[in-house]
A and B are shown apart, each in its own frame.
Chain A
């Protein structure tokens, strides 16, 4: 499936230019963190790479055919989208639509529920869970199919420290078992903790793309330096 290559990728929404042209390559393994100020185009780039918004120009290429590559990906949204079902059924949903036997799917969902510490809440409608619990369900639902590529759009925004630590642990574990992760975050501390490489975005363009160590040791652009220093990047 890898490397994933975006070439001359650009997005327009209602004829307004949003991001691009962007050229980048993501290799297999590790956690790539997308950072940048608000409106830099992080969410749009994630959705474009995942293929859920139409490209104005360019293409995203995988080593495997597009339909096969699509099946190997998952996406976690900033505001978790819960199906109007029980938490257990939410977890089992991706398995069931992929044709897995319902009983097996439910059993696997139960073991994931135990893993994320929510087994006591599995029969409750998912809408009644707290924000952090919903995000854990959303992450487990994305990981339950063992995707090769996982996109996350600010998964820990507005969550407390304890839940953030739990989610980071799940991401680190997923990465160690072969899932390549691309996530956006505003949290510089989080990026320092888990990132292997960093893509810094500004004004709809990739301003820098390098290893996390190199990025934090010596930010390559003025905007990146300001961002890491906690200054406002305009």
Chain B
């Protein structure tokens, strides 16, 4: 129990003094996660909208695959990305292994199906509401996708935040492809893992509290967005 209180005290102290190491790790965590989130959103949101609006061969197969990939084990993703990026792998020449780029790639693979699947479910509902109107207005397929993406923006924001929550707390895959190198690829989750194995529970807890604070901020934002949606404020 003393480790717990010590962890809280140390977390407060590290935050108050803006500890350089903590800040570096936290900022790297945010940078990697936000980069992965932006790339994933660029792929997943239009994909979700296209799957909602268009009927084509293999559409159901793609939706089923996306749903299945939501439960993809991160460690397996890490292993596959490791093999692909390792020196003997097909993309070894790019020299990306043990860099933050590799971590971003792994996170993109993990969260894209999650965001696409949530986005598709929300936009499918919106499309069933809009279908007759947009068809009767003679809109092009691209105009339909654009309209759904804009009018479904709150639901898409929630989907993105779910992706952010999954990515920021990810440890298995980024440990494998990033290597947890100090001042290079160490992020909050891998640092917690390292400090725990070293027996420095206070620092591990301090880092954990920062991670929880970030996750809480995401959840509160999601909750706030849902509230503004109900009140129709944006």
Taking beta carbons and an 8 Å cutoff, which residues of A are in contact with B? 47, 50, 52, 70-71, 73-75, 77, 81, 83-85, 93-94, 97, 124-125, 127-128
Interface of B is mostly: helix
Query: With the chains together, A97 CA to B136 CA distance in Å?
Result: 13
Q: A125 near B129 (CB under 8 angstroms)?
A: no
Residue in A closest to B135 when the chains form the complex, CB atoms: A52
Q: A85 near B151 (CB under 8 angstroms)?
A: yes
Q: B151 near A97 (CB under 8 angstroms)?
A: no
Q: A97 near B143 (CB under 8 angstroms)?
A: yes
Q: Which of B143, B152, B232 has the most CB of A within 10 A?
A: B232
Q: A81 near B151 (CB under 8 angstroms)?
A: no
The count of residues in chain B whose C-beta lies closer than 8 Å to any C-beta of chain A is 15
Is B20 an interface position by the 8 A CB rule? no
Query: With the chains together, A74 CA to B135 CA distance in Å?
Result: 11
Is B138 an interface position by the 8 A CB rule? yes
Give the residues in chain B near A128, CB-CB below 8 Å.
232
Tell me the residues in window 150-172 of chain B with beta carbons closer than 8 Å to chain A beta carbons: 151-152
Q: B130 near A70 (CB under 8 angstroms)?
A: no
Residue of A70, A77, A83, A85 touching B138 (CB-CB under 8 A): A70
Query: With the chains together, A77 CA to B136 CA distance in Å?
Result: 10
Is B133 an interface position by the 8 A CB rule? yes
Q: A97 near B139 (CB under 8 angstroms)?
A: yes
Give the residues in chain A near B135, CB-CB below 8 Å.
52
- Closest 3 interchain pairs by CB? A125-B232, A75-B136, A81-B133
Give the residues in chain B near A93, CB-CB below 8 Å.
137
B225 nearest CB across to chain A (Å): 14
Q: B151 near A74 (CB under 8 angstroms)?
A: no
A84-B151, A84-B152 known; 8 new pairs, CB 8 Å cut-off, are: A50-B136, A70-B138, A74-B137, A81-B129, A83-B151, A124-B232, A125-B232, A128-B232
B232 nearest CB across to chain A (Å): 4
Residue of B133, B139, B143, B151 touching A77 (CB-CB under 8 A): B133
Is B132 an interface position by the 8 A CB rule? yes
Interface of A is mostly: mixed
Residue of B133, B138, B152 touching A71 (CB-CB under 8 A): B138
Query: With the chains together, A79 CA to B152 CA distance in Å?
Result: 21
Query: With the chains together, A74 CA to B132 CA distance in Å?
Result: 12
A145 nearest CB across to chain B (Å): 9
Q: A97 near B232 (CB under 8 angstroms)?
A: no
A and B contact pairs by CB, cutoff 8 A, 15 listed: A52-B135, A52-B136, A70-B138, A73-B136, A73-B138, A75-B132, A75-B136, A77-B132, A77-B133, A84-B151, A84-B152, A85-B151, A97-B137, A97-B143, A125-B232
Q: B147 near A74 (CB under 8 angstroms)?
A: no
Give the residues in chain A near B147, CB-CB below 8 Å.
83
A60 nearest CB across to chain B (Å): 14
B35 nearest CB across to chain A (Å): 30
Give the residues in chain A near B136, CB-CB below 8 Å.
50, 52, 73-75
Give the residues in chain A near B138, CB-CB below 8 Å.
70-71, 73
Q: A94 near B232 (CB under 8 angstroms)?
A: no
Query: With the chains together, A47 CA to B147 CA distance in Å?
Result: 22
A218 nearest CB across to chain B (Å): 36
Query: With the chains together, A76 CA to B189 CA distance in Å?
Result: 55
Give the residues in chain B near A73, CB-CB below 8 Å.
136, 138
Give the residues in chain B near A124, CB-CB below 8 Å.
232
Query: With the chains together, A73 CA to B147 CA distance in Å?
Result: 20
Q: B137 near A94 (CB under 8 angstroms)?
A: yes
Q: Which of B130, B136, B151, B152 has the most CB of A within 10 A?
A: B136
